[in-house]
Amino acid sequence: MGDSSESLRRPPQKLLLDSELTADQQLMQVSKSDNEDNNNGEKSKEESTYWAIIEEIFGKEDEVLYRPKKRKYRSLDSLYRATKPVPAV
């Protein structure tokens, strides 16, 4: 009975997929080497390597499709055309 109450108190552990673990490990390696290379002044080479790994994991930005933004409000011009002027009191 004590075992079941202890397991209920613990937060559930999140399991990572193999691909997520691989991506995490690669990012940690890039971050570690980035810290080491910053001391040597090789920032541009490291940045290109970093972005190459990011593109390898998540794909290029060109592959992402963006939906057109929905208009939430009417323009003032359309409001003035659709309404009649209110007489001043």
CA neighbor of 24 nearest in space, from 64, 59, 60, 54: 54
Which value, in Å, is the radius of gyration of the alpha carbons in the chain? 27
Domain count, the chain: 1
Please list the pLDDT of the chain residue by residue as tens digits (89 residues): 445 555 455 555 556 577 777 877 788 887 776 666 555 555 677 788 888 888 888 776 655 566 777 777 888 888 889 988 888 87
Euclidean distance between CA atoms 36 and 73, whole angstroms: 51
87 in any annotated domain: no
pLDDT value at residue 13: 54
pLDDT value at residue 34: 62
Q: Residues 51, 55, 60, 65: is their CA dihedral positive or negative?
A: negative
* Domain ranges, residue 51: 15-82
6 in any annotated domain: no
Give the other-Cβ count within 10 Å of 53's Cβ. Answer: 15
88 in any annotated domain: no
pLDDT value at residue 87: 86
pLDDT value at residue 88: 84
